[in-house]
Structure 1
Amino acid sequence: MTHFGKIKSYDAGKGSGTIAPEKGGDALTFQKSDLQQEAAEPKQGQRFGYETNQASGGDMCATNLRQQEQGDNFQRDQASNQQG
């Protein structure tokens, strides 16, 4: 299931960051390798879609992050509303 959130922080030196879920809750960690487009470093405030997975330490983390475009958000929201 795809979740959405905004980048809270990203440390290029460590290659890791956190994303704040739109639906609330604690920020989730992610690694640069979890980004679909590894060449582009995420910036604070950018919206991403992601899945969640349990990390080896037992905490939830964000994986398979995909940056969301303005048009994608509108189409996805419309489709969601139509499905009920």
Structure 2
Amino acid sequence: MTNFGKIKTYDSGKGHGTIAPEQGGDALPFRKSDLQQQAQEPKQDQRYGYDVTNTNSGKRCAINLHQQGEADIQQEQARAQQG
């Protein structure tokens, strides 16, 4: 299941940041290598879809991040209306 959140921080020099889940909870860390479009730098408050995984140490992190465009938002709204 895809989760959604907004970029809270991103350090382009280090290549990692955090994303704040829309459903609440602690911000999740991610790496640049977890971005589906690595050529595009994420910016604070941009909305992204992502998956969650656990690291070897048991901490949760965001992976498979993809920026939410207008078409993605419309598809999400249509799915929500269908139930």
The separation in 2 between residues aligned to 1:69 and 1:80, in whole angstroms, is 17
TM-score by length of 2: 0.94
Q: C-alpha deviations, 1:9-64, integer Å up to 9, x for none? A: 00011100000000111100000000000011100010000000001221100000
Match of residue 49 from structure 2: 49
Residue identity over aligned pairs, in percent, reads 60
Match of residue 24 from structure 1: 24
* 5+ long unaligned stretches in structure 2: none
- Number of residue pairs aligned between Structure 1 and Structure 2: 83
The separation in 1 between residues aligned to 2:77 and 2:57, in whole angstroms, is 34
Match of residue 65 from structure 2: 65
> 1:45 aligns to what SS in structure 2?
coil
> 1:71 aligns to what SS in structure 2?
helix
Residue 71 (structure 1) shift = 2.9
